[in-house]
């Protein structure tokens, strides 16, 4: 995500940071390059113009030039302005108390409405509500079937009526929802070009007849300058309540994310981050700005980790580490937890500083699979006492896992080293050693956090 704009902005800022003193001329040169980077990222022309003006006004002031770290100041200003460009964030859905909340999704063809409908339904049902999906797209062949298949996967009912116009489908759906105790109705409408008056009228009719609680515009984040035009047009016709950006897991350049709030004034509610149906995330302008600027996104990373890591398990593991009785099973467990957090590339992109170093790098998820296979091919005894694994056993494990003896030996060696390291770490009174390349104050913060978390867990156990 955002590799290209992040890379070019980083080069620009590095140049600025390298200078001890900044002159107005330096700053303007730098910002001219920022302008190009933003335009290359498909940010709307007018938005860029405005953005650069604002940043320039703040940056050429005395504060920056006299500052000890002028380069850093400018990065901060750019970050702030980006955040305010995309913010304020608001990912809440105003559910109707005691009634039916109707959410209507609209957008151009191929922007991802049907998939997003499914993702949204899944998100809402995970919050304990009972959503109903409505196939109001009777234009595209097999659109209804697509929604039905999604509904089946998610175990969420889908309402559809063949041979009926979309307005009546929606009306029927509301009746159905009332009769069947659904409290949220999601309308998946047909994709259309915003200049197609006939289809626009149909949407307006649905809007006036069923009065949706919220209308969300689904926008492909790879759209170019046209993104804002279509958003503006839909907004003019339907008065949108928010935007859902899709396909953000590609190497989108972020232009749509940067422009759409500024032009329509409507907040970005959610972002689609992958093909799987649980990949709809809340939108946080500050985190997005950090990611665009290559500062990583530690907050999201921690949230992700909290989702998959069980605190009890973590406490048990800590005990084992302290006793030095860590087994390969524990190791496998850890690996699987990391895997559950999402693709490695995505996770590493959230670590500050790592994102830009990974540019163009291929991360081999296969290696993780190999490790899993090797451990799976071991007997229980071997997993608890890896020391007993010698020549014959190694051969068997390598054959069983489809790897070679070298891979097995390497894994065993790594595990041994890890155990040794942990032992030292535990003997050290639990002081956290910061990983290489981490800023000292960040490391301090993290260490403090880790310690307080450990205490919390302990307290809980008592």
Q: Which CB, 148 or 214, lies closer to another protein?
A: 148
Nearer to another protein, 22 or 257 (CB): 257
Quick one: 226 or 312, whose CB is closer to another protein?
226
Give how far the C-alpha of residue 184 lies from the chain's centroid of Cα atoms, to the nearest Å: 25
Q: Which is nearer to another protein, 65 or 354 (CB)?
A: 354
Structure tokens at 263: 């032009």
Beta strands at 131-136 and 184-189: parallel, antiparallel or unpaired: parallel
Convert 263-283 into a string of H (helix), E (strand) and C (coil): HHCCCEEEEECCCCCCCEEEC
Quote the least distance from Cβ 399 to another protein, whole Å.
Answer: 26
Residue 113 Cβ vs another protein, minimum distance, rounded to whole Å: 9
Of 364 and 381, the one with the shorter C-beta distance to another protein is: 364
Contact residues: another protein, CB under 8 A: 4, 36, 39-42, 45, 108-112, 115, 139-143, 145-150, 153, 193-195, 220, 222-227, 229-230, 247, 249-253, 255, 275, 362, 365
From the CB of 210, what's the least distance to another protein, in Å? 25
Query: Is residue 184 classed exposed, middle or buried when 0-12, 13-18 and 19+ CB atoms within 10 A define those classes?
Result: buried
Tokens linked to 283: 């939108």
Q: Report how far residue 331's alpha carbon sits from residue 337's, in angstroms, rounded to the nearest whole number.
A: 10
SS (H, E, C) 338-383: HHHCCCHHHHHHCCCCHHHHCCCCCCCHHHHHHHHHHHHCCCHHHH
Q: Between the CA atoms of 36, 42, 44 and 45, what dihedral angle is there, to the nearest 10 degrees?
A: 30
What is the separation of C-alpha 417 from the centre of its chain, rounded to a whole number of angstroms?
A: 33
As measured in angstroms, the least distance from the Cβ of 99 to another protein is 30
Contact 138, 144 (CB under 8 A): yes
Closer to another protein by Cβ: residue 108 or 186: 108
Shortest reach from residue 274's CB to another protein, in Å: 9
Supply the minimum distance, in Å, between the C-beta of residue 206 and another protein: 20
């Amino acid at each position: 995500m955002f590799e290209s704009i992040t890379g070019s902005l980083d080069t620009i800022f590095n140049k600025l940071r390298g200078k001890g003193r900044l002159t107005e001329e330096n700053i303007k040169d730098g910002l001219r390059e920022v302008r190009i980077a933003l335009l290359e990222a498909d940010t709307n022309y007018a938005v860029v113009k405005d953005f650069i003006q604002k940043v320039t006004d703040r940056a050429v002031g005395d504060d920056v030039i006299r500052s000890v770290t002028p380069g850093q100041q400018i990065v901060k200003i750019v970050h702030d302005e980006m955040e305010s460009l995309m913010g304020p964030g608001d990912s809440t859905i105003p559910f109707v108390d005691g009634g039916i909340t109707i959410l209507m999704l609209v957008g151009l063809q191929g922007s991802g409405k049907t998939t997003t409908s499914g993702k949204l339904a899944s998100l809402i049902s995970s919050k304990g509500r009972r959503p109903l999906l409505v196939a109001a797209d009777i234009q595209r062949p097999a659109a209804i079937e697509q929604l039905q298949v999604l509904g089946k996967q998610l175990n969420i009912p889908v309402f559809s009526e063949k041979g009926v116009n979309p307005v009546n489908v929606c009306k029927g759906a509301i009746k159905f929802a009332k009769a069947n105790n659904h409290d949220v109705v999601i309308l998946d409408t047909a994709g259309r070009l915003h200049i197609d008056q006939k289809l626009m009228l149909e949407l307006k009719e649905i809007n006036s007849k069923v009065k949706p609680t919220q209308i969300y515009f689904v926008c492909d984040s790879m759209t170019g300058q046209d993104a804002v035009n279509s958003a503006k047009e839909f907004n003019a016709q339907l008065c949108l309540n928010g935007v859902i950006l899709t396909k953000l897991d590609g190497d989108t350049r972020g232009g749509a994310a940067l422009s759409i709030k500024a032009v329509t004034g409507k907040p970005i509610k959610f972002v689609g981050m992958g093909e799987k149906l649980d990949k709809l995330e809340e939108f946080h302008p500050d985190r997005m700005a950090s990611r665009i600027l290559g500062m990583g996104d530690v907050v999201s990373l921690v949230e992700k980790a909290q989702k998959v890591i069980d605190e009890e398990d973590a406490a048990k593991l800590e005990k084992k580490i302290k006793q030095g009785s860590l087994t390969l099973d524990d190791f496998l467990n850890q690996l699987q937890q990391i895997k559950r957090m999402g693709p490695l590339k995505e996770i590493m992109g959230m670590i500050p500083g790592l994102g830009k170093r990974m540019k163009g790098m291929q991360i081999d998820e296969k290696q993780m699979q190999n490790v899993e296979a090797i451990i799976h091919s071991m007997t229980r005894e071997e997993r608890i006492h890896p020391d007993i694994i010698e020549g014959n056993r190694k051969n068997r494990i390598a054959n069983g896992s489809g790897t070679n003896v070298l891979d097995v030996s390497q894994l065993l060696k790594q595990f041994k080293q890890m155990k040794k390291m942990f032992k030292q770490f535990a003997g050290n009174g639990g002081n956290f050693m910061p990983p290489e390349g981490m800023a000292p104050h960040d490391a301090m913060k993290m260490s403090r956090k880790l310690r307080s978390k450990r205490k919390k867990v302990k307290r809980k156990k008592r």
